[in-house]
Structures are given as structure tokens and as C-alpha cells.
Amino acid sequence: MEKLVIEGGKPLSGAVRIHGAKNAALPILAACIMAEGEITIENVPDLSDIDVMLDILKALGCRTERRGEQIIVDALKVCEHHIPEHLMSQMRSSIFLMGPLLARLGRVELYQPGGCAIGERKIDLHLRGLAALGAVIEESGSKIVCTAEELTGAEIALDYPSVGATENIMMAAVMAKGRTIIAGAAREPEIQDLQHFLNRMGARIIGAGTDTITIDGVPELMPCSYRIIPDRIVAGTLMIAAAATKGNITLENVCPAHLTSAIHVLKRAGVQIAIDDDIMNISSHARPKPVERIVTAPHPSFPTDLQSQIMVLLSLADGVSIIKETVFEGRFKHVDELTRMGADIRIDLSSAFIRGVPRLYGATVEATDLRAGAALVIAGLAAQGTTVVEQVHHIDRGYARIEQMLRHLGANIVRTSPVTTE
Ligand code: UD1
């Protein structure tokens, strides 16, 4: 297993370009199977989750090609409706294929994505939405078979603004007969990106970014070219890393409007942020100020995907901060690891009470999931001494070559591979 070895205590400095958004690229790649022809997607990050999605597309009969950050998907010959269980188990986002496969082939067979390190992640809202459009859903054990001779527009009210369910329903509805209205939709920027992509293919969707999305079905979708938005969570992670190391960095290719709540919280912690169009400068010279209360919640509130990272910064603050996690119940797995680095954090149900300490100390810690792993890297960068982060494969799901990105910003970080013997 690969590890990241970090010599902490060096302020980050310099400039780095933010790569494309994983959470936008995954549904958009899945949506490619709805057009019979070659689609070019630009700014696709080089991540293991993207590789799994490409493997699934190939298993369904697509031709895919990667040229750097450009990916070509040709779905002309899609004929397979079964998603292999071993690919399904590697990535929860394989459920994004449900809507598009139903729309294209009228049938999809897949498996429950199963448990997850950050808590129970149900798919009931996805299934209920697809059923409302006319899909017949049969479950036996972990296998799910959805069929639909014809999908028909419907009014669907989501009990919770699930990002994935909103996207799956949007994709299933684009070629359904008539109008679909999703009320209580998620408002994340990635949903707007999906709307822009689908409309570029000829769909008729309005409202993404608000809580009501209206989709007027069209008979077919056309191939197109599209550029993915920058990854707001990667940008937010680096902003927090700059603050935690008392650094001064410039991020290029960012969309500040997608980071409003994170910018607000960082400013409350005393971090200086200057914005010029798609360029952002982040600097910090003093110990962070505590932030009385942060509540993670669906966009535009503070994102759960930055919760573990901001906890590292607040662990170093001059006072007590509270973070309440409302999206994923199990998302405090990084706390034990941070405690071993000297942090003073107490968990009570879904809230973390963080008493700032003057410094963290290097330790060997384990990344338990993607964002927890990123948080431990930030902790290692800020800590005194050497930190070893194990289970790096979690981090590779969402940060392209994180060690190169951070070395570019002056960090002392290397990836080590185990020595293999024949
Ligand atoms: C997406 C993001 C993930 C982010 C999350 C919340 C992608 C690929 N992933 O995940 O990085 O952390 O949004 O911003 O875009 N729920 C149900 N039933 C469902 C679906 C969801 O109860 O059918 C619950 C989940 O258990 C969770 C909450 O809703 O507690 C939020 O989940 P959701 O918004 O669906 O997140 P994902 O789309 O899985």
C-alpha cells in the first residue's frame, strides 16, 4: 500500500491550477451513453474514480479514449445493460448509470452500492424518482433490475435534496415523454454543470441551481463537446491547507461563486482571501480564530466534503469551535487520527467540539475515506515532525497526484510504494 510521507511545518507558497470537478465529471460521463456518437469532455481530472467510470462505460459497449484531460466517449454501440458487480462495488457513483441506461435501453441491471465509510448511503430517493417516471424496479438480494418500456414525465418531490438522486432523475427524464418537475432538488454547482451539458446535447432543462428543476422531454440527444467546471472541493482543501500552514498561495481556474460558504468561514477564522475573476489568493499569518458554529448542509451551506479539512484548521485555533455534521452521520472517522496528532476534539452525536491547540505533532495515521484523507494531509503539512498517511488510494479518488500539487506549493511530501520482492 502506498503512503504519503510529510515533513510538516513549511508554509505553502506559490500558484497552482485547480483541476476539473470529479463530482461534475462522473454524472456527465454517465450521461454520454444517451447520445449515439462521439462526445468530447474537457478538463476531466485524472482520478481513480474516473477510471472506474470509464471501465463501466467500456463494459456497456462504449469506446473511450483519454488524451490528457480530454476524454472521448463514443456510445454508438451501447448494447449492454448489466453493470458488473465488481465495478459497482468500487464506486458508489456507478448508480449514475441508472437514469441514462433506462433512457437509452429501457433496462438496467446493477447492484446496491452497499455501505460506505462515511455512513449509510441509501438510494431510495433514486429508485422512487425513477419509479415515478414509469420504471419498474425489482430487487432481489443486492441486485436491482429496472425496466421501462417508456418513461413518462412526472412531478417528483424529493424528501431530501440528494445530489445523486436529483442528477439520476434529471438524466432519466431528458428523453421521457412530457414534462418532469423535480421539487426539493439539490442545488449544487455540479447539478448546474449537468444541466448545461445535457442542454448542449439538445435537452430542455431549466432551474438547476434552484430547488425546482423542469425538464421537457426531447426525442433524442446529440453528441457535443463540453468543459467540466473546476473542482470546488479541491480548491477548498488547498485554501484550508494554505491557512493551516500560515502560507500564501494563489489558485488559478477556480469559481469563487461555488465557494461562498467556505470563503465566509475561512474569513471568520482570520484568513485573508483576495479574488480576481477565476484567481484567488489565500494567505494567513496568525493563529486561526475559532469559529463558533459551522453546520454542514446541502449547497449553498457549508459542504460536508470540506468538514474534515476545516476541522484541522480549527484544531489549531485560539479557542473552541463547534462543527455540526448533518449530511453523513459517520463522517467523523478522522477525529481519532487527529487526536493522535495532538488535536483536542470531543464528539457528541453529530457535533464536534474542537478546543484549539498551539500545534499538532507528526504521527502515522490512516486515511479512512477520501476527504478524511485530505484532512490528514493538511494536518501533516501543519504539524511539527513527520506524518505518514496510509491508505492513500482513498485520496487518489478525488485529488489528482496530490503530492505533486503540494510539492509545487513548496510542501515537503513524497509518496512511497512498498518494496515488492519477486
Ligand atoms: C454527493 C457527492 C458527495 C457529497 C454529497 C453531499 C458525488 C459523486 N458525490 O454524494 O461528494 O458528499 O453529494 O454533498 O456527487 N440519501 C438518502 N436516500 C437517497 C440518496 C441520499 O437517504 O436515495 C441521503 C444520504 O444517505 C445522505 C444524504 O442523503 O445522508 C446526502 O446524500 P446525497 O446528496 O445523495 O449524496 P451523494 O449524491 O451520494
Q: Which residues line ligand 1 (CB under 6 A)?
A: 23, 26, 93, 120-126, 160, 162-165, 186, 190, 303-305, 327-328
Does an H or E element contain 130, and which? Answer: helix 124-132
123 closest CA partner among 81, 165, 182: 165
pLDDT at 381 over 70: yes
Element (H, E) at 371: helix 370-382
Active-site choice (32, 62, 116, 224):
116
Burial class (CB in 10 A: 0-12, 13-18, 19+), 70: middle
- The model's pLDDT over 136-174, given as tens digits with 9 standing for 90+, comes to 999 998 899 999 999 999 999 999 999 999 999 999 999
Cell of 92: 458508489
Distance CA 259, CA 20 (A): 15
Active site residue 224: no
Its pTM surpasses 0.95? yes
50-55: Cβ within 8 A, 24+ apart: 50/22, 50/25, 50/26, 52/87, 52/90, 52/91, 52/94, 53/25, 53/26, 53/29, 53/91, 53/93, 53/94, 54/29, 55/87
SS3 101: helix
Burial class, 159, CB count within 10 angstroms (exposed 0-12 / middle 13-18 / buried 19+): exposed
Q: Which residue's CA is minimally distant from atom 9 of ligand 1?
A: 23
Contact 48, 397 (CB under 8 A): yes
User: What share of the chain has pLDDT > 90, as a percent?
Assistant: 91
pLDDT band of residue 88 (cuts 50, 70, 90) is: confident
- Tell me the β-bridge partners of 136: 147
What is the C-alpha to C-alpha distance for residues 283 and 267, in angstroms, rounded to an integer?
10
DSSP state for residue 291 in the 8-state scheme: -
Structure confidence at residue 416 as a pLDDT band (50, 70, 90): very high
**Closest C-alpha residue for ligand 1 atom 17:** 122
Q: What single string gives the DSSP state of each residue in 47-76?
A: -HHHHHHHHHHHHTT-EEEEETTEEEEE-T
Contact 146, 104 (CB under 8 A): no
pLDDT digit string (tens) for 326-380? 999 779 999 999 999 999 999 999 999 999 999 999 999 999 999 999 999 999 9
With pLDDT > 70 as the criterion, what percentage of the chain qualifies? 97
* CA 262 vs CA 111, 127, 256: distances in Å: 35, 32, 10
pLDDT band at 38 (very low <50, low <70, confident <90, very high): very high
All domains of the chain, ordered by start, with CATH? 3-18+230-416 (3.65.10.10), 22-227 (3.65.10.10)
Q: How far is the CA of 162 from the centre of ligand 1 (A)?
A: 5
Over residues 1-30, the mean pLDDT reads 97
Q: Can you give the pLDDT at residue 116?
A: 57
In angstroms, the CA 125 to CA 128 distance is 5
Distance CA 63, CA 359 (A): 51
pLDDT at 104 over 70: yes
How far away, in angstroms, is 183 Cα from ligand 1 center? 17
Task: Ligand 1 pocket test: pick from 126, 156, 327 the residue with the most ligand atoms within 8 Å of its Cβ.
Answer: 327
Cα atoms found within 13 Å of the Cα of residue 195, Cβ hemisphere only = 23
pLDDT at 115 over 60: no
Pocket test for ligand 1, best of 52, 112, 123, 163 (most atoms within 8 A of CB): 163
User: Distance (Å, rounded) from C-alpha 147 to C-alpha 168?
Assistant: 15
